[in-house]
Chain A
Amino acid sequence: MRALCVLLAIATAALFIAASWHLPDRGDPHAPANVGVGPEYVERTEQDIGIENVVSAVLADYRSYDTLGETFVIFTGGVAVLFVLIRRGRDDQQT
């Protein structure tokens, strides 16, 4: 069983390493990430929003609905943790 696990891990690692050889080079202008809508954002951020950091501009302005949703997910998680742990504390005090 242990040998099987090790073999599986090695096979998975070999698969990932083999796949990584076919990744595009850093800064390759023909990479899929650089031929779609990406360069459009890089070019237009300066005059659209005036922020140097393109990542921040995309997160906080172009895609601010998405960021709002993400923040609400974190908020909801915190509220859920709160409810679970508050109930536990109350039960402890009753016993």
Chain B
Amino acid sequence: MTNRHDSVLLHFVVKVVMVPAILLFGLYVLVHGEVSPGGGFQAGAILAAGLILSRMSISSDEGRRLFSRPRLVVITVLGMLLYAGTGIAAMFSGGNYLDYGVIPFEWIDRIVPGDLGRRHIGVFAIEVGVTLAVFGTLALAVDYLGEPHEPEETEG
């Protein structure tokens, strides 16, 4: 996105303090979203903020490879498919679209028995889907908007 800055202080603060804290907080907002304020949209935005911060300051080649543009597209589409697929899974097992109470997975009953456990898992599944979609969309948009005007070593 931008050029790499060779500042020890910047590297330390971003790499050791800020980005791990932001990513951890994003995951917390996602998995705790059913109890406290939070949820998929917020978690996706926070995770994308962590990725964007790391790309703007300590842009490593490994990070670019790990979240390259094709992979971000795949992440976004997977999120949408997870959301829509949860609804379709409920539909195939005899309920309405997105009616999580009938999702037919045996292992859910072993964790939380009954209808409510399935609803809990269904809600969590779509929250994960929303998180992936929002994360991928924001990261992709900022990645493309922030690219240098001269065509240089950007992978496509």
Contact = CB atoms under 8 A, between A and B. Distances in A.
Nearest to A68: B83
B50 interface: no
A51 B156 CA distance: 43
Given A74-B134, A77-B137, A68 B98 contact: yes
A34 interface: no
Q: Chain B's interface: helix, strand, loop or mixed, by majority?
A: helix
Interface stretch (A3-11, A23-31, A57-65): A57-65
B119 interface: yes
A40 interface: no
B123 A57 contact: yes
- Chain B interface size range: 35 or more
Contacts of B130: 67, 71
- Chain A interface size range: 20 to 34
B123 A61 contact: yes
A51 B122 CA distance: 12
12 contacts: A51-B120, A52-B35, A55-B39, A56-B34, A56-B39, A56-B127, A59-B39, A61-B122, A71-B130, A78-B140, A89-B147, A89-B151
Interface of A: 48-53, 55-57, 59-61, 64-65, 67-68, 70-72, 74-75, 77-78, 81-82, 85-86, 89, 92-93
Given A51-B34, A56-B39, A61-B119, 15 more contacts: A48-B119, A51-B35, A53-B36, A53-B38, A56-B127, A64-B98, A67-B130, A68-B83, A68-B84, A68-B126, A75-B137, A77-B137, A78-B76, A85-B147, A89-B144
